[in-house]
Amino acid sequence: MQINIKATAIELTPAIYNYVMAKMTSCKKFLNVEDEEAIKFNVEVGKTTRHHKEGDLFRAEVNLNFNGQILRVEKTEEDLYAAIDVAKDELIEQINNFNKKKNTLFKRGARALKSVLKGISRGWRRQG
């Protein structure tokens, strides 16, 4: 598993780095991937602009590449850690939706194959 972290318009402190690493490694358990080296997180954290009059707006962007799939999340919050948390939660939701879709397609294909095999077996009984 590879995690790349980029800071934009802020300094990447060890506290921010460790927080992002902890949140992204917790997402790994939701991925059904045999090869851990195929998982790549690209995380960008930082301020959106430098000219807000009433406080800073922070953003967290996560791009996840695994098994040829790309999932992307971008969240903006008033607190950097809140933006990272919300982005992680959204990413987990996208991963779960992807897994459900994959299982649904597998079951649909299995049902189609079963109906084809039933039709073939019924045809053989009539002939025999």
Q: What is the pLDDT of residue 34?
A: 79
- The pTM assigned to this predicted structure is 0.80
DSSP 3-state of 49: coil
Say which amino acid occupies 7.
Answer: A
- Say what the pLDDT of residue 104 is: 87
Q: Tell me: the pLDDT tens digits for 69-121?
A: 899 999 999 999 999 999 999 999 999 999 898 888 888 888 888 888 887 77
pLDDT digits (tens, 9 = 90+) for 48-79: 876 666 678 899 999 999 888 899 999 999 99
- pLDDT score at 54: 66
Contact, 39 vs 1, CB < 8 A? yes
Question: Which pLDDT band holds residue 8 (cuts at 50, 70, 90)?
Answer: very high
CA–CA distance from 113 to each of 13, 64, 120 (Å)?
55, 33, 11
CA dist 21 and 42 (Å) reads 11
Check residue 128 and give its pLDDT: 45
